[in-house]
Structure 1
Amino acid sequence: MNHISITFVTPWYGTFAGGAEVAARTLAEQLSKRGFDVQVLTTCCRSPFDNWWQNTLPPGVEKINGVIVRRFPVKQEGENLYHEVNYRIIHNMEVDEKFQHQFLENSINSQALVDYAQANTDGHLVIGMPYTQGLIYSLIQSLEGRASIMPCFHDEPQFKWITTAQMLERSRHIFFLTEEEKTLAIKHYGHSIGRRLIESPVIGVGVELPIDIEKLQKSNSSLLEEIKVRCNLPEKFFVYVGRKDIGKNILTLIDYFKDYQSHGGDATLVFLGGGDANLVPTNKGFLDLGFVPEEDKYLIISQALGLINLSHNESFSLVLMEAWLCGIPVIVHRNGEVTTAHCKKSQGGIPVSSSEEFEAALEILSSQDKGKMLARSGKRYVQSKYSWDCVINQFFRGAYQG
């Protein structure tokens, strides 16, 4: 099986840790380690936080963690046309088929990348992600049934667009990250896509930490104390990991935490990751550490009372898995279908839907015995369902289907 060549296509790679990019990067690296011929085609745009119509990285070929990465210049026209449609989406205005195509045609794209894929990936398993970006739409249209998709679906306006239906219809394979994502797709597209959609695999995302947190904790490693001092971590804190973005329900999280503080709560909310730092209050009880090295991230998470992710739209939520492997429980929003399902299946976290429920959950996680019990259940869930061997077996089962 190792003779198969695999090409991943994603708008950003190597310097940005968004969900789809992490899914692509970790799977590519694991397949490469197992001897597969793997490459990634991506753009010269560094991250979603850079201008999508400007090249912030040089074109060319590099090797990142053993994986060949080819970067191509972005399309530099169409920014205003894209923002015209994005304004309509943000303000809940109608987005008809004309605007849907306008959005995808002027989102981040690279004709040079698509031309390369057309000419150089015959016989490859080509997989594009995520479905919301013009690059992936162009790839699937151009390769005419040769490219597969790992869509990373959420229940959002774009999910129901004609352009999404076109991508699913013309994809060779469809790879889902969770059962909930697949159920959503079948509910809306099952009648039109049919059996191919219903039989598409759910592969998940493999999760392994690069350091042995449990061993460090048992040995009272100086690393744990050193990170506390270096980052000025408070004695009691909860952690949010990810992009600081209104779309991630950050404002609700902050409001809930302020309510908790007003009722005498004495823990701090620590933020890790990029995004809009202006969203984080500067008053006592909030601490934004921004981006930190990967090892530092896990050392910080492992000392928190719990991880909080109130986003409604997650196609997998890697941070939940990482928190459980770090030995801490989680709090999610009940409206987050995927994250709530993870918590119910694992018994490793608490879904909430109000400030009162949030405060009650913080109190439960603040109890060392109850928090550890939830964390142990979550860790067992990750280790049984999301080992890399399990994920890669599912991946190839889907790739060789039909």
Structure 2
Amino acid sequence: MKLAFVVQRYGLDISGGAELHCRWVAEHMARYADVEVLTTRAEDYITWKNRYPAGPQTINGLTVRRFSVVRPRRPERFGRLQEKVLHHEHREKDELRWLDEEGPRSRSLLRYIRRNEAAYDYFIFFSYRYYHSYWGVRTVPRKALLVPTAERDPVIGLRLFKPLFRMPRAFIYNSCEERDMIRTVSRNDDVPGAVVGVGTETPASASAERFRARHGVEGDYLIYIGRVDQNKGCPELFDFFLRYKQDTGSPVKLVMIGGSVLPIPGHPDIRYLGILPEEDKFDALAGARLLVMPSFYESLSMVTLEAWAMGQPVLANARCDVLKGQCLRSNGGLYYGDYREFREALSLLLASAGLREALGRNGLAYYQANYTWQAIENKYLGLLGELEGK
């Protein structure tokens, strides 16, 4: 069987999000199939400027075919179009203009898919909201599997996506909540699909002491791992954390790891460390009292799974139904809907080592049952086997 994984960006230096999800799954599925990756030359998800050379290259043993983006995204035009399609009366052609600007617009990628349809058994498209998935699924619908990575944000309600969600041969969902949301907006219950997600691996050993020594972090700390931006709930996290410090006098610190597009408050107990190597990330996670996940929009949250794989509890934003659902299914974390609940849940977790350990154990059991790589590979193989049998 030959599989093409189709994603907006791809590379070893692209961390997090659907792009990392795609790379991990592609590398693992290469054990069972002939796998190639079809992607663009873009590295930056804000502008989609061509950076990587065009053509095939090999990354971790896989052939990666890169195609040029027609032009970079124009942020001001994109902002105006997004404001119109999300908040004002508009027509479907306005949504198509928005999609063109959302990008990354690569005609050569679509042309390759159309001309080489017969060379692949299935095309696995990642992220429904981008140009390559919308037009790619329409190009090869009977061979298209869609990993939507959909979040409960206003884009899911755009009318151009409703027919798209009824086109693929099958769906590979990240969570029950994502599946139910897409079925609600598109009535695509008759399209086959499976809730799969993505696996994760943790190091054989992690050292909190090594992290503290390298980065000069002392005392108890919460950890946030991920992109520091508005949609991830970081402004609210800063507000809640600083209010908590003022209300309780707690000495706890907030350690943040990941790239940032926001200013970081100048407070001595907020330690922003930027993007760190994997060893440092897992060392930091091992030493934390808990992982805090303030995001409003997630289709899964890989870092939450990493925390549970490390036996760490999670404090999550209940206004993200995926995070709340994962906490309920795993019994591996608490969740909050406002500052009062944040304050009480955090105080409870910091005060009780027994509670933290119990939640961490539950999270680890949930990870082992559902998100080891063997479990993920089996789900992909099961869905592909069902499709081959039809």
Question: The TM-score by the shorter chain falls in which range?
Answer: over 0.9
RMSD (Å) for aligned C-alpha atoms: 1.9
Q: Deviations over 1:286-339 (max 9, x none)?
A: 111111111211111111111111112111111111011122111011111111
1:153 aligns with 2:137: no
**Distance in 2, Cα, partners of 1:352 & 1:171:** 36
In structure 2, the partner of 1:186 is 183
In structure 1, the partner of 2:375 is 390
In structure 1, the partner of 2:170 is 173
In structure 1, the partner of 2:135 is 138
Contact between 1:46 and 1:57, CA under 8 Å: does it hold in 2? yes
Q: Which amino acid aligns with 2:128?
A: Y
Contact between 2:295 and 2:317, CA under 8 Å: does it hold in 1? yes
**Distance in 2, Cα, partners of 1:95 & 1:136:** 23
**Distance in 1, Cα, partners of 2:333 & 2:108:** 45
Distance 1:232 1:135, change over 3 A: same
Secondary structure of 1:27's partner?
helix
Contact between 1:329 and 1:348, CA under 8 Å: does it hold in 2? yes
Q: Which amino acid aligns with 1:63?
A: T
Secondary structure of 2:273's partner?
strand
Contact between 1:85 and 1:103, CA under 8 Å: does it hold in 2? yes
In structure 2, the partner of 1:319 is 303
In structure 2, the partner of 1:98 is 93
Secondary structure of 2:142's partner?
coil
1:24 aligns with 2:9: no
**Distance in 2, Cα, partners of 1:65 & 1:55:** 22
Alignment of 1:300-319 (within 5 A): 300-319=284-303
**Distance in 1, Cα, partners of 2:343 & 2:4:** 46
**Distance in 1, Cα, partners of 2:319 & 2:266:** 28
Report the CA distance between 1:355 and its aligned residue. 1.3
Report the CA distance between 1:119 and its aligned residue. 2.0
In structure 1, the partner of 2:108 is 112
In structure 2, the partner of 1:212 is 204
Consecutive unaligned residues in structure 2, runs of 5 or more: none
Contact between 1:81 and 1:102, CA under 8 Å: does it hold in 2? no
In structure 1, the partner of 2:61 is 66
Q: Which amino acid aligns with 1:19?
A: G
Report the CA distance between 1:228 and its aligned residue. 1.3
In structure 1, the partner of 2:281 is 297
**Distance in 2, Cα, partners of 1:171 & 1:84:** 30
Q: Deviations over 1:164-208 (max 9, x none)?
A: 123223222211111111111222222xx3412xx4211121222
Secondary structure of 2:287's partner?
coil
Secondary structure of 1:311's partner?
coil
Alignment of 1:191-202 (within 5 A): 193-196=188-191, 199-202=192-195
Secondary structure of 1:298's partner?
helix
Distance 1:96 1:305, change over 3 A: farther
In structure 1, the partner of 2:266 is 282
Contact between 1:277 and 1:288, CA under 8 Å: does it hold in 2? no
- Percentage of identical aligned residues: 28
Distance 1:63 1:283, change over 3 A: same
Contact between 1:174 and 1:201, CA under 8 Å: does it hold in 2? yes
Contact between 2:166 and 2:186, CA under 8 Å: does it hold in 1? no
**Distance in 2, Cα, partners of 1:133 & 1:381:** 31
In structure 1, the partner of 2:37 is 40
1:344 aligns with 2:328: yes
Contact between 1:241 and 1:271, CA under 8 Å: does it hold in 2? yes
Q: Deviations over 1:348-380 (max 9, x none)?
A: 100111212112222222232221111111011
Contact between 2:36 and 2:63, CA under 8 Å: does it hold in 1? yes
Distance 1:247 1:129, change over 3 A: same
Q: Which amino acid aligns with 2:82?
A: N
**Distance in 1, Cα, partners of 2:141 & 2:177:** 28
Contact between 2:162 and 2:185, CA under 8 Å: does it hold in 1? no
Q: Which amino acid aligns with 2:198?
A: V
In structure 2, the partner of 1:380 is 365
Report the CA distance between 1:62 and its aligned residue. 2.2
Secondary structure of 1:148's partner?
strand
Secondary structure of 1:170's partner?
coil
Contact between 2:5 and 2:22, CA under 8 Å: does it hold in 1? yes
Report the CA distance between 1:35 and its aligned residue. 4.0
**Distance in 2, Cα, partners of 1:89 & 1:305:** 42
In structure 2, the partner of 1:220 is none
**Distance in 2, Cα, partners of 1:233 & 1:89:** 45
**Distance in 2, Cα, partners of 1:16 & 1:163:** 29
Runs (4 or more) in structure 1 with deviation over 4 Å come to none
Q: Which amino acid aligns with 1:395?
A: Y
In structure 2, the partner of 1:86 is 82
Contact between 1:10 and 1:42, CA under 8 Å: does it hold in 2? yes
1:75 aligns with 2:60: no
Contact between 1:201 and 1:397, CA under 8 Å: does it hold in 2? no
**Distance in 1, Cα, partners of 2:251 & 2:189:** 53
Q: Which amino acid aligns with 2:124?
A: I
**Distance in 2, Cα, partners of 1:162 & 1:89:** 10
Consecutive unaligned residues in structure 1, runs of 5 or more: 217-222
Contact between 1:148 and 1:171, CA under 8 Å: does it hold in 2? yes
Report the CA distance between 1:114 and its aligned residue. 1.4
